[in-house]
Amino acid sequence: GWALAALVLGGLRYWLDLPLWVVTGLFGLWLAKDLAMYPLVRRAYEPSEARTGAAALVGARGVARERVGPAGYVQVRGELWRAETAPGEPPIPPGGRVAVCAARGLTLIVEPDAPGVRAADQGGASEQGRARTPAG
């Protein structure tokens, strides 16, 4: 950006016959503006590690829609995903709660969710006939 600013200001000095001190002052102001703004915009230029797709679901909980053992389908945050059980984990029956422990491509790696842990990340999926009672 600074080289372009210097080129434009040099052209303006030539075509408009601006004094050197005006061109130098304008370039100094441009430089000061860049230095003042850098701390505010630096984060926008840093590479982000945003997780999207299946990787964004690691740690989420859901429900097995069919037997997952070793592969099947689960519903997590209201979406149906292909899933496989984590190595060494038992098969998960239909309706069983799952926790996503990893993602491989578009396949979720799941394990049975710990008993007593509420699957809040199902995306509104109902329990189908099982009423929830308040803990107390």
Residues 83 and 27 in one domain: no
Residues 41 and 60 in one domain: no
Average pLDDT over residues 124-132: 38
Q: Which residues pair with 75 in a beta bridge?
A: 63, 80
First and final CA of the chain: distance in angstroms?
63
Residues 63 and 92 in one domain: yes
Query: pLDDT digit string (tens) for 5-57?
Result: 788 888 878 788 888 888 888 888 988 988 898 888 888 777 777 677 888 89
Q: Are 122 and 78 in contact (CB under 8 A)?
A: yes
Residues 27 and 60 in one domain: no
136 is a domain residue: no
Domain that holds residue 94: 53-119
132 is a domain residue: no
